[in-house]
């Protein structure tokens, strides 16, 4: 018997040699009063902190999950394909909401292959899901660029590049990289003007219609997982055309302001006249 007297709700564990004796004790003692207090008796469970080592198991990536889908939903959907060692829906640590993807681990490789083949495109909740092998790589050393970007605030990222730059670099997707995947991932941050993907190199460029939209995408997605791959997101390289276009826009704005200002001159005295 192990007793923990320190807690406000004291409890203990009783271990029997045979399962049938433990079951009989549970049935007989649950709800009984001892020293005037009703006791609750149940099967002991393994603490969640003691996670099983599944590094040698076979891991399936599950994407496009509806927001309401839980870990239990995923586990139930994949249970018919074989013994599952682990299942989880990945959640945002700040909001506690689902990130729209998860993982299922099988003991047997054939079971995992079968699940990938038959579950890809199947409906779970309100939408069809995507399945593929999850890629688990040892964490690579962080470059100075990545470490500087990952923890920056929105304002800091905004200032990293000129207001004319609306292009995001997204790298690290070594397999399954498509224009559709990038559009689906980045479209929530604003209007996308152009997407260029380089599947053989594992990176892409996404050009938004505004600098702010691109900055939001960088802050939110850098260091997150896309299709089971941890991605790097930062500003795409500015081209001379960007700077020329931006300078032209500023020039046109100045001309327009001057025109509007001079149109008001008949109603203004000299002290109120415009100067640029």
Give me the domains of the chain, ranges plus CATH numbers.
2-38 (no CATH), 58-133 (3.30.70.330), 144-237 (3.30.70.330)
Q: What is the mean pLDDT of residues 117-123?
A: 93
How large is the angle between the packed helices 109-119 and 71-78, nearest 10 degrees?
A: 100
19 vs 243 pLDDT, higher one: 19
pTM of the model: 0.38
CA geometry: angle at 227 spanning 225 and 230, to 5°?
Answer: 30
The pLDDT tens digits for 1-60 are 444 555 556 677 777 766 667 777 877 788 888 777 888 888 765 554 445 666 678 999
Here the contacts of 139-146 (C-beta below 8 Å, separation 24 or greater) are 145/234, 146/222, 146/223, 146/232, 146/234
pLDDT of residue 224: 86
Q: Is the pLDDT of residue 202 over 50?
A: yes
pLDDT of residue 255: 76
Cβ neighbourhood burial of 260 (10 Å; 0-12, 13-18, 19+)? exposed
Residue 107 and residue 86 in contact, taking contact as beta carbons nearer than 8 Å:
no
Q: Within 10 A of 17 (CB to CB), how many other CB atoms are there?
A: 7
Q: What is the mean pLDDT of residues 248-268?
A: 65
The pLDDT tens digits for 139-180 are 444 444 444 444 567 888 888 888 889 999 999 998 889 999
pLDDT of residue 263: 64
Q: Within 10 A of 130 (CB to CB), how many other CB atoms are there?
A: 19
Q: Is the pLDDT of residue 132 over 60?
A: yes
Confidence of residue 133 (pLDDT cuts 50, 70, 90): confident
- Region of poorest pLDDT, from 87-101, 117-131, 206-220, 235-249: 235-249
Q: Is the pLDDT of residue 235 over 70?
A: yes
The pLDDT tens digits for 58-111 are 999 998 899 999 999 999 999 999 999 999 998 887 788 888 888 999 999 999
């Amino acid at each position: 018997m192990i007793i923990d007297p320190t807690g406000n709700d004291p409890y203990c564990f009783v271990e029997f040699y045979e399962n049938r004796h433990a079951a009989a004790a549970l049935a007989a003692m649950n709800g009984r009063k001892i020293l005037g207090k009703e006791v609750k008796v149940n099967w002991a469970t393994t603490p969640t902190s003691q996670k099983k080592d599944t590094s040698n198991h076979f891991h399936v990536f599950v994407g496009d999950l509806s927001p309401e889908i839980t870990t239990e939903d995923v586990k139930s959907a994949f249970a018919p394909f074989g013994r599952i060692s682990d299942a989880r829906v990945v959640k945002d640590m700040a909001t506690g909401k689902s990130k729209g993807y998860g993982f299922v681990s099988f003991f047997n490789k054939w079971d995992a292959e079968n699940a990938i083949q038959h579950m890809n495109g199947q409906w779970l909740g309100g939408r069809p899901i995507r399945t593929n092998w999850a890629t688990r790589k040892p964490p690579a050393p962080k470059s100075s660029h990545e470490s500087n970007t990952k923890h920056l605030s929105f304002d800091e990222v905004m200032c990293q590049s000129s207001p004319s730059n609306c292009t995001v670099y997204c790298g690290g997707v070594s397999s399954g990289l498509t224009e559709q995947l990038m559009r689906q991932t980045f479209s929530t941050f604003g209007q996308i003007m152009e997407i260029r993907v380089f599947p053989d190199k594992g990176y892409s460029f996404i050009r938004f219609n505004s600098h702010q939209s691109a900055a939001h995408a960088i802050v939110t997605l850098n260091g997150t997982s896309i299709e089971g791959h941890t991605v790097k997101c930062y500003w795409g390289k500015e081209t001379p055309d960007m700077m020329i276009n931006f300078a032209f826009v500023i020039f046109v704005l100045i001309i327009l302001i001057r025109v509007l200002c001079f149109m008001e001159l008949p109603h203004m005295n000299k002290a109120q006249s415009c100067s640029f």
